[in-house]
Amino acid sequence: MSVCLVNMPYASMARPSIALGLIKTYLSKAGLACQVIDANLLYAKKAGVKYTYLVEAINHEHMAGEWTFAPAAFPEMHGEDLAYFELFPNIHKNLKTLLQQHRAYTPRFVRELADDVIARNPKIVGCTSTFQQNCASLALLRAIKQKRPDIITMMGGANCEGIMGQTLINAFDWLDFVFSGECDETIVPLIQTLLANEMPIESQFEGLLTRQTQTIASDTAITRAAVEDMSNVEMPNYDDYFATLEQLALSDEINPGLVLETSRGCWWGAKAHCTFCGLNGMGMDYRAKPANTVLNEMDTLFFRHKINRFEVVDNIMAAEYIKTLTPHLSGDERYYEIFYETKANLKEHQVKAMADAGIRWIQPGLESLNDDFLKLVRKGTTAIQNVATLKWCTQFGVRLFWNLLSNIPGEKDSWYSDMADWLPMIAHLQAPRQNLIKVRYPRFSPYFDAPERWGISIKPLASYRHIYPLDDEQLTNIAYFFESNSEEPPANYKLETSYEFSQPGHTKLEKALKLWIQQYWGTQETPQLTMTFVDNDILIEDTRDIATQPQHCLRGIDAEIYLACHTPIHHDALMRKFADNANMNNNFKTALQMLQNNKLLLKNNQRYLALALNGKAAELPKLENFPGGYIKTAETLNSLNG
């Protein structure tokens, strides 16, 4: 075996690695023997799928997964390290015990895995590293290097972008090479050079990092590889993942999904970079595959693996796909379940087109329901547009993944109080699934790049000090997650992000949000606000807590105004719409006020939106059918979440 590519814990067990799948395609086409080892599945088989998933599900910024593999990567530094838990004084005892058990097991797992990899006699071993894979990858490559110094070791992935990658190779001498950026066009000639026992030169391989580069200035000073034309990006090969899944007999616990990539970068971020987003690294320029290429990849992967679920890992869906892709997915030939990240301000016809095409899982980046907040973080949308997106998605059965964010530089507490006042009006629309979430400052975000502009001073999250044997400068350069220098450790560390808020507006919104979540997701009968048409009348049924009465009948100008506000409309535009109505002066203001008084019409910053759904909402797809796969365990997170 020439090359072994390893996907370490805690990558998702429910789907294959698209990064390694792509590299396997490139190497195989070049005639180079290559095998992907899904070590995350091997680990889950030994440690238990449900117990592995519980660590995988912990918010990445807490670094719990990294902490469990730290003694395997750096045995000279780590003992029991109970000081880590001092950061989270309210951690549930069951979760604490579970993390300690994982931590005690990882050194043995790494030793056995290293022996397994070495037995395959590879010349090169490469690991992909994103979020909580750094320590596991470093541990494996260190163990391999100690036993077989002749084996070439490499790392790549999001954790290796820019200065993070250069710091890794400078700090850990068992790494031979680190790759920063997109390796699609570089990986084959690089591997061929290494297999020919030649030493690659950085300048010849864009994105390649070695210890020859000793001076680190900034992320932008580090070379990064990028593909200009997405038509040149191949289809990933997932055969090894599914072979391992079958070999380990994990189908009773894991319902796998497929991973697809249709674009890179972010077309909105290229115009206005959202202040808290660091997901694109240094690769913001937007590039998309042609729609016919996307269709061909979906069809090919479906027929190869007999799975019709696709998690698209793009940071934003190409705007043109509404016209070029969705019509081909909505016919009788195909029935795929698809997840996409999208822009927030979706129109009704766009959501319907996506739903008809099987794109019934989206993450639209709503982030807030306050105009000032949204403007400050450069979202390019408004609160009422976001509510409209909630309305369309609830109407057409598109399941949303979204959160309400808080604690951004320059905010006002009154924004949160204002949201809390009208949040009960949208109790019938899809709520987030988590409580209010504090914004952090990830690397590559505008907050990170220019903290002084936002009036903040930042430092790596405290968790990093319990992970790496590095000095302050190295920790700063290897870290992805940052927080304010004045930040206190979270007072409540569970399996979801949870904080206590001291400001009255934040507290008020948190209370309203918890009620919304409980009513929408936690009860069999979710609140309803629906309308039906009888001749020219509109009959409205209202079961929200805020309802002024259970039924309304809108006639005449009442009904006309309500229909005119079906999509967001500015007050001036609404006035012009009814300017020719002879009874306007007498009835318009009365009707408009009546609709607001009965909480049927939302007014926000001079814009209106009728809140009732048109008849019964389409059923949302079930969580166990998530396109990116699903862990089929009867135990819930609550057993370890208190």
CATH for the stretch 3-228:
3.40.50
Convert the pLDDT of each residue in 583-604 to its tens digit: 566 789 999 999 999 999 999 9
pLDDT at residue 327 greater than cutoff 80: yes
Model pLDDT, residue 633: 72
Which alpha helices (H) appear in 122-180, and where do they start and end? 134-147, 163-171
pLDDT at residue 483 greater than cutoff 80: yes
Confidence label for 259 from pLDDT (cuts 50, 70 and 90) = very high
pLDDT at residue 281 greater than cutoff 60: yes
Model pLDDT, residue 639: 53
Convert the pLDDT of each residue in 192-218 to its tens digit: 999 999 999 888 899 999 987 655 666
Lowest mean pLDDT among 43-47, 278-282, 366-370: 278-282
pTM of the prediction? 0.94
The mean pLDDT of 467-485, rounded to a whole number, is: 95
Instruction: Report the topology of domain 529-614.
Output: Arc Repressor Mutant, subunit A (1.10.10)
Model pLDDT, residue 637: 52
Local structure of residue 20 (DSSP, 8 states)? H
The mean pLDDT of 421-445, rounded to a whole number, is: 96
pLDDT at residue 540 greater than cutoff 90: yes
The pairs formed by 19-22 with CB atoms below 8 angstroms and a separation of 24 or more are 19/128, 19/130, 19/156, 19/157, 20/128, 21/236, 21/237, 21/238, 21/241, 21/259, 22/184, 22/233, 22/234, 22/236
The mean pLDDT of 224-252, rounded to a whole number, is: 96
The residue with tokens 């997405």 is 230
Model pLDDT, residue 446: 96
Model pLDDT, residue 521: 96
Model pLDDT, residue 492: 42
585 vs 316, higher pLDDT: 316
Tokens for 377?
Answer: 């973080």
Q: Contact at 8 Å (CB) between 401 and 363? A: yes
The mean pLDDT of 286-309, rounded to a whole number, is: 98
Nearest to 179 by CA among 2, 313, 28, 5: 5
Q: Name, in order, each residue with C-beta under 8 angstroms of 167's C-beta and a sequence gap of 6 or more.
A: 216, 474, 477, 478
Model pLDDT, residue 493: 42
The mean pLDDT of 534-553, rounded to a whole number, is: 97
The mean pLDDT of 60-78, rounded to a whole number, is: 92
Model pLDDT, residue 497: 46
Can you give the length of the chain in residues? 642
Stretch(es) of the chain classified as CATH 3.40.50: 3-228
CA distance 268 to 346: 14
Model pLDDT, residue 59: 84
pLDDT at residue 134 greater than cutoff 50: yes
Average model confidence (pLDDT) across the chain: 93
Q: Give me the phi and psi of 225, to 5 degrees please.
A: -85, 145
Confidence label for 488 from pLDDT (cuts 50, 70 and 90) = low
The mean pLDDT of 540-569, rounded to a whole number, is: 97
Q: Give the Å distances, CA to CA, from 36 to 21, 176, 237, 642.
A: 8, 19, 10, 38
